[in-house]
Structures are given as structure tokens and as C-alpha cells.
Structure 1
Amino acid sequence: MPLLTSDVPLCEAHDLVMLDLDGVVYVGADAVPGASDALERCVSHGARIAYLTNNAARPAGEVAQHLRDLGMPVHDDGEVVTSAQAVARMIAADLPSGSRVLVVGGPGLREPLEAAGLVCVDSAEDDPAAVVQGFHRDIGWRHLAEAAYAVAAGLPYYASNLDLSIPTPRGTAPGNGTLVRAVVAATGREPLVAGKPERPLFDETLRRTAAQRPLMVGDRVDTDIDGATRAGIPALAVLTGVSDLAELAALAPERRPGYVSHDLRGLVDHHLAVVVDGDTSRCGDSTAERRDGTVVLTGGDPAATTSVRAVLGLAWSAVDAGHDAPDVRLGG
């Protein structure tokens, strides 16, 4: 798939901007530089915003307050949509109200389950009707063992998400998917999943907003971009988190995002067409060239969206012509 274009600021072309959080808006406790200003500019253009997170550790209200503390525009706690809320809706649709659910997770998972009319329990001996697992930093062996006992007994098994890792200020750390793998390895059973790249989190957001022209913004190909593609939603990939430009350059056509930028400032940029001519490309004032298997920026501001597009568009053209995925360089 080639890069898509927008002759107006990208946020104006969509009636909802759906934002992943970790690696897009913040990393750990700190805001991604420039994120607050970019989102305020989006709002000034009339954009609606929804904040989507696969991380089920914190309740939506706590996440919303964290975003406000970082200077992000959040007018209502309902603008935050968590995988815990999505999985709670899944379970409530499958079980009668008042059913007991064995919970491996923290308040971020328990609150939406209780709000959905379900009763949270902690042990396989508490007569649960299902098991649900979501990330929390305090999860240990005893919690995983209780889940394994119940899952092995045949109870329905759900997970908020399967992210193997999470970004932190100190680096990459194990995510919920890593802990889910322990239960799967012990029982041989896979869970039903709510978070990206599966559809329930997207469906929960669209149900809540009634959006007709949403845009997904994310930093991870395997969750944000793949999930948006499966849901039929165009995506903007930003380079402030997990997936870098080299990973994007090597993607097969069916997994490519429609848009790419360094960070959230790409939401208020025009996304101009990339013109490829052999081993060169041009996007606005930016130019790139393929030399000995490497695509390099030869003209333009390395931080500009046009520069990222020129380099990536040329890299994809080379891959589509049968060449190996090139190295990519925006500077040096």
C-alpha cells in the first residue's frame, strides 16, 4: 500500500483521532516532547480525541488525570478507553449479571468488571465462571497459579491484551502478554483478547464516539497499525516508541500504515504526495536517494514529515520492485 495523502491538516480529514498512549503520548510518567502542543493544535482544528490503551493496570479516570497533569487535552474521563473496559464488555456479554470472575490484575481491571455487573474473586476455589488477566506490576506466581488452575479446569479465559513488552523510562519491560504466556504454557489454552490488534478495543471506542472517519495513531506495528488495518481504519505511525523507521521500511504492503511522521506533530501537517523516479524521490521540499542498498535523505529538514515520507516512500518502492528492504537514514 502506498502512503496516503492529505491536502488539509491530517486531523481535519478525520472526525476522530484515536491515540495509543505508551510510546505515543507518554513514556512512563513523562510526556513525549511536543505531544501536548500537537494535541492542543488538533483540538483547535476541531478534532475529537480518544485515548486508547492496551495497558489495563490503571482505571480510566486515573489515566485521564495523568494525561491532564501532562498537559494533554482531556475534557471527560470517557475520552480514555482501556482494554480492561473492552474485555469487561466482552465478559458481560457472555455471562449473566452477577457472575464471579477470577481476576489476575489490579484496579484498572477490577473497576470496569464491577461496573459491568460482575463479581471479582481471587481464587479458583471461589467458584468463578471465567478467568480474566490484565497487566499489573504486583502480579506474581500465586496469581498466575490461580489462573492456571481455573483455566485448566475449562473455564472461559480472557485477556485484556497480549503486548509482550511495555516501554518504561529505563527501557523495555515485560508486558501482559509475557505473563499470559506463562498461563498458556501451563494449560495449553489461549485466551480471548480485547486489546489491539484485536477488534474489541476499537469497537468499544467507535461505539462510544459514533465516529465515521476515525484515524488511529500508534507507535507499534504489531498492535496499533495491524489492529487498525484489521478494523478498516487508516493509521498514522509515529517514531517515538517501539517501531522505528527501519521496521516500517521492511513491512509487506498489507501491513503498511497510510501515514507516518516523527511524532504527533504529523497530525497537523499536510501529507503531500511522494514522487518516486527510479532511485530518487521527492515529497514537498524533501528529497531522498537510494545508494548501494541504503535510502538516504539528500534534501530537507530531517525532522519534517515530508522527509520521513520521502525516505519511506522510496524504500517501499524498492521493496515492491523486488529489492531487499534497504537501510534508511534521515541524517548523517
Structure 2
Amino acid sequence: MLRESRAPLRSEVDLVMLDLDGVVYVGAAAVPGAAEHLAVARAHGVRCAFVTNNASRTPDTVAAHLTELGVPAGRDDVVTSAQAAARLVREDVGEGGRVVVLGGEGLHAAVAEAGLQGVGVGEDAAVVVTGYGPDVVWRDIMRAAVRIRAGDRWVASNTDTTIPTADGVAPGHGALVALIREFTGVEPRVAGKPARPLLDETVRRVGGTRPLMVGDRLDTDILGGRAAGVRTLLVLTGVTDLAGLVAAPPELRPDHLGTDLGALHRSHPAPVLTDRGAHCGVWRAEVVDGRVLVAAQPGTPPGTGRAADPVADPAADPDDWWRAVATAAWDHLDRTGTAAVVDHLEPPAPLTPPAMP
């Protein structure tokens, strides 16, 4: 069940941990309204940390990209899976320990920052750390895999199976992890989402006692937040679509749901579940013959958020549509084991940034 926040969600947290691609930007462009929404959060005293599974880029590079997109950021605002992986290695071998590094610039920099000695695949060490690197050569992959099968410990920055590139979606570090795992029979310690170390590293570096994980992916961002024991907010500006949302099993369901980062600045009513489905705000959703049906609740006055015509009601929040649909569909899934059909539904348009409080 989605959680309630009677006040703006930002007032209940002191650290917002933001996934990047699909939340703050998509490819080279900022998500519309993201910069404005984050500026308001910061103005209300909320820390913003930018959290990425990408181990190939340094925090300085990520911060520069964000700043170019209108989201001011410094290197200390960015936490990468490479930094979390380096922490795991240092806990294993201690400061000054030697580690074979197989990855890009970001991983090499994180290892050095952690006070470790990064060495090549032919040098003496007891741990191998791997991450995505576009220039990693097959010869080094083979030698690292042989070392791991022979007994070297292994830390992987993440297990993402795909990454976005200028040429389209391409294999990510998870493809390499799968290859080495199959060859060696060894499971790595994983630093990135959905494993817990990256979010623990973020809290350690940025601070905060009431963190919120914000992401667009159920299987990394939301599952990772749950693994770390923090509240989660799913935004719908990235990869999760309506069909994926309603089919989510309990372990992948967020605490809060919003169409975009404007959800930080609005309250989150808890949907009410009945034997006729779920209702939230002006919207009522139910599953009939396996399909989700949605209608506005009639007989309520404009200006209350419960008008019969939600388009004409300035108090209506389109996020309530998603909350009602998700709650009704999840209840159906839990009772029947079958995901509801939603391919005929047309969600309302999200609120525009000027409507933000």
C-alpha cells in the first residue's frame, strides 16, 4: 500500500537521493521541470544527492553535466557505485591495500580516493574490482576472470544489464558480471543498486537521518531503497510505464508515486481500498474482468480536489489517478496472481512546473 504524506513530501525528509537517467535527465537533456523542482527542495533545506550506478564517470564529470543542465552540483553531491565498491574493498584489505582494477576512469579514481593501490591484472593483489569501462580490453577480462576462479575475491560496481549510449541501448556491466560469474562460479559482492552499499555510502557522505530514494526503475531504485530501509518515491519520467507499474510484485512497490519530481512538493494521500477497488482524490479505479477501469468520483464540489470534472478542478492532482490505479491493480495481482490489463487507459497530463507550490 502506498504511504500517506499529509504535508508536502519534502517536509518529511532531509535527504533526497536521486537516480539520474530518467529522473533528472534523459540522455543529454534535462527532464522538464527537474531543475526547478530540485531548486525548491534545496530552498526548503533538503539535501540533494545524485546517485548513479555508472562507475565509469567521476563525480566531477557528473557534477559538471548536471550544472550544464541547470542543476547546480559539486563533486560532493554525487555518489557513484565506483565509490561504494572502493569502500567495500577498503573494508576488506585496509588502507593502502592492493586491488586489481578492471574498469573506467571513475573506478580508478574511486580506488585512489579510498587510499587503495590500484594495480594491473598481472600484478600481485588478492581482490579484483570491476566496473563498466568502454576501453576495457578482452585480454584483461580473461586474466581477471582466471584470477577470480583461482581464488581472488571479487567486488562488482553494479549488475546493470544495459546502459544508454549514443548508439542506443547497449550491454552494461551486468553482461560482463554474468560472463565472469558463469566462468568462475563465483558471486561478486555488488556495490550498486539494488544492493545496499551505494545508498549507505550516500548517507555516509552527504548526511541526513530521514532519506528518500527517488528513481524511475522498480528493479534497481525502488528495490535498492527497500534494501537500505529508506522511503522510496517512483517518478514516471523514465523507464517504468503503466503496465510495468501495475505488474509490480510487493518487493518492487514504492512508498510514494508521482508523475515527476513535482511530487516532492505535494501531499500524498493514501488511496482507500474497498471491495469495489480503490479511490484517491477525484479518481476511483477497479478491476473488472481483468481490466482496470477508472472514473472520476461524482457529486463533489470544485476546489476540493474531488470535483466531478477533474480537468476543471484546480485542486485535483493527476498523481491521484496513478495512485488509485496502482492500488486497485496491486490488490488484484495479490488476490489472483495475474496482472490487470491497462492498455486502454489514458492517464491525465502531469502538472506543469509553474503549478508547483
1:214, CA displacement in angstroms?
0.7
> 1:331 aligns to what?
346
> What does the per-residue CA deviation read over 1:109-167, in whole Å, with 9 as the maximum and x for residues that have no partner?
011101112122222x2222311101122233223112112212211111111111123
SS at match of 1:288: strand
> What does the per-residue CA deviation read over 1:29-56, in whole Å, with 9 as the maximum and x for residues that have no partner?
2222221122112223322111111110
The match for 1:293 among 283, 290, 293 is: 290
| Cα separation, 2, equivalents of 1:176 and 1:240 | 24
Moved more, 275-284 or 171-180: 275-284
> 1:86 aligns to what?
84
> What does the per-residue CA deviation read over 1:77-131, in whole Å, with 9 as the maximum and x for residues that have no partner?
21111111111111111114333221111110011101112122222x2222311
| Cα separation, 1, equivalents of 2:137 and 2:93 | 27
Q: Name the amino acid aligned to 1:256.
A: R
| Cα separation, 1, equivalents of 2:328 and 2:168 | 31
> 1:13 aligns to what?
12
- Checking the alignment, whether the CA contact within 8 Å between 2:55 and 2:80 is kept in structure 1 is yes
Q: Alpha carbons of 1:303 and 1:25: their partners in 2 closer, same or farther (altered >3 Å)?
A: farther
- Checking the alignment, whether the CA contact within 8 Å between 1:14 and 1:214 is kept in structure 2 is yes
- Checking the alignment, whether the CA contact within 8 Å between 2:160 and 2:174 is kept in structure 1 is yes
1:199, CA displacement in angstroms?
1.4
1:331, CA displacement in angstroms?
0.5
> 2:64 aligns to what?
65
Report the TM-score when normalising by structure 1: 0.92
Q: Alpha carbons of 1:114 and 1:289: their partners in 2 closer, same or farther (altered >3 Å)?
A: same
> 1:244 aligns to what?
241
> 1:310 aligns to what?
324
For residues 201-280 of structure 1, the aligned pairs below 5 Å read 201-280=198-277
| Cα separation, 2, equivalents of 1:292 and 1:261 | 27
| Cα separation, 1, equivalents of 2:32 and 2:171 | 24
Q: Alpha carbons of 1:33 and 1:296: their partners in 2 closer, same or farther (altered >3 Å)?
A: farther
1:225, CA displacement in angstroms?
0.9
> What does the per-residue CA deviation read over 1:271-311, in whole Å, with 9 as the maximum and x for residues that have no partner?
11212343343212333343331214333469821111111
The match for 1:322 among 336, 343, 352 is: 336
1:323, CA displacement in angstroms?
5.9
| Cα separation, 1, equivalents of 2:242 and 2:36 | 23
| Cα separation, 2, equivalents of 1:264 and 1:169 | 25
Larger Rg: 2
Q: Name the amino acid aligned to 2:112.
A: E
Q: Name the amino acid aligned to 1:82.
A: T
Q: Alpha carbons of 1:171 and 1:305: their partners in 2 closer, same or farther (altered >3 Å)?
A: farther
For residues 153-164 of structure 1, the aligned pairs below 5 Å read 153-164=150-161
1:330, CA displacement in angstroms?
4.2
Q: Name the amino acid aligned to 2:346.
A: G
Gaps (5+ residues) in structure 2?
A: 297-309, 348-357
SS at match of 1:138: coil
SS at match of 2:64: helix
Q: Alpha carbons of 1:296 and 1:139: their partners in 2 closer, same or farther (altered >3 Å)?
A: farther
| Cα separation, 1, equivalents of 2:6 and 2:77 | 28
> 2:188 aligns to what?
191
> 2:43 aligns to what?
44
SS at match of 1:126: coil
Q: Alpha carbons of 1:271 and 1:77: their partners in 2 closer, same or farther (altered >3 Å)?
A: same
Q: Alpha carbons of 1:33 and 1:173: their partners in 2 closer, same or farther (altered >3 Å)?
A: farther
> 1:167 aligns to what?
164
Identity percentage over the alignment?
48
Q: Alpha carbons of 1:54 and 1:98: their partners in 2 closer, same or farther (altered >3 Å)?
A: same
> 1:110 aligns to what?
108
- Checking the alignment, whether the CA contact within 8 Å between 1:23 and 1:167 is kept in structure 2 is no
> 2:75 aligns to what?
77
Q: Name the amino acid aligned to 1:59.
A: T
1:169, CA displacement in angstroms?
6.0
- Checking the alignment, whether the CA contact within 8 Å between 1:12 and 1:46 is kept in structure 2 is no
